[in-house]
Amino acid sequence: MKDVAQQALDTATARGATYADVRVVDIRQRYLSTKNMQTGQVRDSESLGIGVRVIARGAWGFAATDDLSRNSVDRVAARAVEIAHASALCKTKDVLLAPESKIVDTWYAPCRIDPFSIPVSSCLDLLLKVDAELLKVKGVTLAEAAMDFRQIDQLFLSSLGSEIHQVKTQTGAGFAATSFSGNGIQRRSYPNSFGGQYQTKGYELVEELDLLAHAPRVGEEAVALHQADQCPQGVKDIILDSSQLGLQIHESIGHPIELDRVLGDEANYAGTSFLTPDKLGKLQYASEIVNVVADATPAHGPGLGTFGYDDEGVPAQVTPIIQNGLFVGYLTSRESAAALSLPRSNGAMRAEGWNRIPLIRMTNVSLLPGTWKLEDLIADTDDGIYMETNRSWSIDDRRYNFQFGTEIGWEIRGGKKTRMLKNASYGGITTEFWNSCDAICNADYWILWGTPNCGKGQPMQTMGTGHGAAPARFRRVQVGVAYGSG
């Protein structure tokens, strides 16, 4: 890998690049799924290639190839410089980068059990057993389970002299039960919707999730939802479980703090942001108990946004985003940091693979724990709804107005969880919603969730992000806004 990367770097600088970086990336992926006790998909793939990013004549150029022969590597490096020269013809200003130091390092993400060492047959056997447990529940129509493994081996070289080798393994697993009854469809998922839980770990994550043990409860809840009362419409206090709150953070905090969106450099797929620079250090984003960080360091946990260095060779960092409710930080690149005269990038540039240019992406954007026990928080709530597990989401392209639906709700009356509610949903305005937060559960309830399917850019790149949260309460929220009575 190093010889190939060094060759590309030498060619780019020889052709006139004033800055160049090269990523050689080898990605292996295995995906397995079952449906109603039948094997659904078994995919095993590998992708190896090189991406070359340069600045020449004050403009960016990028090119990539999966042909790692000497002639091909020379061509792709030269092409990146040619593209930069063409881009310079229509530039409005020269690219400026915040300073960064030369780094030589190797980083391996912790992985106790290599998931690729587990036989496919053993994985499928567990998934089929989960399906069987779900289908034992009368009324479950569709049982689905899946596992997803990925290993990423990357070498980064830059004209600063940096040489960074990183290897990380990501694992995801989960299942869902769907029940059809009349015109109604209800669904329950474990441990989260849209694929389950994902972390930068090995097969030990699958063992920790104990999928089989949770299948009966999940199936029973999916069926019971048909007989549950419809979520009422009106204004109520709500408590969001940690997984739903993770998605709330993703959509209404994580995306708006991406500085390329703020500056108008990126608007594809997910829009821009209401968090203009004049709001930095001035906007009361949330109530005073709310503290949010963007933390890529391993100390934060095994999130999908955990790494040693980003794809510009910038070390993983902890960045305060909201402090005591005040908006204080963005996610930045070297270029966007320079645009705001910040002293350094906070290391948020990542690319989906070797054939994509890095973009500003969420790391682990997490709500720090509060002080409450969940049972005490429920006991302190007179009239509210506890909502679990995302079902749907919608938010405008500036990340201000939103509406979310959850798989299940529980009415809270007089400090007690009472009846089950179906089609539980809520909506609001980002800053009003976060300013209504008056209680957050403590670290015992805090979970670092993985979102493996965050889309951004054109061509669209899918990236994994992390979001840590404990259940929290929000006062006087509009509920029952998303679904009919089915």
Asked whether residue 16 is domain-assigned, the answer is yes
Residues 191 and 163 in one domain: yes
Residues 223 and 265 in one domain: no
Asked whether residue 259 is domain-assigned, the answer is yes
Q: Is the pTM here over 0.85, yes or no?
A: yes
Cα–Cα distance between 433 and 285 in angstroms, integer? 9
* Beta pairing partners, 236: 477
Instruction: Give the side-chain half-sphere CA count within 13 A for 191.
Output: 23
Is pLDDT at 262 greater than 70 in this prediction?
yes
What number of residues does the chain have?
A: 486
Domain boundaries, position 272 = 229-479
Residues 308 and 334 in one domain: yes
- Specify the pLDDT at position 294: 98
Task: Give the rounded percent of residues in the chain with a pLDDT score beyond 90.
Answer: 96
Asked whether residue 364 is domain-assigned, the answer is yes
Average of pLDDT values for 311-315? 98
Residues 235 and 213 in one domain: no
Residues 346 and 375 in one domain: yes
Residues 161 and 291 in one domain: no
Cα–Cα distance between 233 and 239 in angstroms, integer? 16
Produce one character per residue of 149-166: b if its CB has 16 or more CB atoms within 10 Å, e if not: bbbbbbbbbbbbebbbbb
pLDDT digits (tens, 9 = 90+) for 421-462: 999 999 999 999 999 999 999 999 999 999 999 999 988 999
Cα–Cα distance between 426 and 387 in angstroms, integer? 9
218 pLDDT band (50/70/90 cuts)? very high
**187 phi/psi in degrees, rounded to 5:** -145, 140
Average of pLDDT values for 412-416? 97
Residues 185 and 241 in one domain: no
Residues 234 and 220 in one domain: no
Average of pLDDT values for 165-186? 96
Cα–Cα distance between 252 and 249 in angstroms, integer? 5
Cα–Cα distance between 462 and 456 in angstroms, integer? 7
Residues 174 and 241 in one domain: no
**288 phi/psi in degrees, rounded to 5:** -65, -15
pLDDT digits (tens, 9 = 90+) for 315-351: 999 999 999 999 999 999 999 999 999 999 999 999 9
Asked whether residue 426 is domain-assigned, the answer is yes
CA 468 from centroid of its chain's CA atoms: 11
Residues 6+ apart with CB under 8 A from 479: 231, 232, 233, 234, 235, 236, 238, 385, 424, 425, 426
- Specify the pLDDT at position 266: 86
Q: In the chain, what is the straight-line distance between the N-terminal and C-terminal CA atoms, in Å?
A: 56
Asked whether residue 486 is domain-assigned, the answer is no
Asked whether residue 484 is domain-assigned, the answer is no
The answer to whether the Cα torsion of 4, 10, 13, 15 is positive or negative is negative
- Specify the pLDDT at position 1: 84
Is pLDDT at 100 greater than 50 in this prediction?
yes
270 pLDDT band (50/70/90 cuts)? confident
Average of pLDDT values for 14-29? 98
pLDDT digits (tens, 9 = 90+) for 219-243: 999 999 999 999 999 999 999 999 9
Asked whether residue 401 is domain-assigned, the answer is yes
Asked whether residue 445 is domain-assigned, the answer is yes
Looking at the 3D structure of the chain, how many domains does it have?
2
Instruction: Answer with the one of 227, 256, 284 that is the final residue of a domain.
Output: 227
pLDDT digits (tens, 9 = 90+) for 108-156: 999 999 999 999 999 999 999 999 999 999 999 999 999 999 999 999 9
Residues 38 and 153 in one domain: yes
Instruction: Answer with the one of 168, 198, 227 that is the final residue of a domain.
Output: 227
pLDDT digits (tens, 9 = 90+) for 55-75: 999 999 999 999 999 999 999
- Specify the pLDDT at position 346: 97
484 pLDDT band (50/70/90 cuts)? low
pLDDT digits (tens, 9 = 90+) for 377-388: 999 999 999 999
Residues 238 and 221 in one domain: no
- DSSP secondary structure, 125-181, as one string: HHHHHHHHHHHTSTT--EEEEEEEEEEEEEEEEETTS-EEEEEEEEEEEEEEEEEEE
- Specify the pLDDT at position 51: 98
Please give the mean pLDDT across all residues of the chain.
Answer: 96
Residue 484, classified by CB atoms within 10 Å of its CB into exposed (0-12), middle (13-18) or buried (19+), is: exposed
Neighbours of 81 (CB within 10 A): 24
- Specify the pLDDT at position 486: 46
Amino acid letter, 146: A
Is residue 480 a contact partner of residue 425, using CB atoms and an 8 Å limit? yes
Is pLDDT at 300 greater than 50 in this prediction?
yes
Q: Which of 483, 428, 408, 440 is nearest to 251 (CA)?
A: 428
- Specify the pLDDT at position 183: 87
The enclosing domain of 166 has a CATH number of 3.30.2290.10
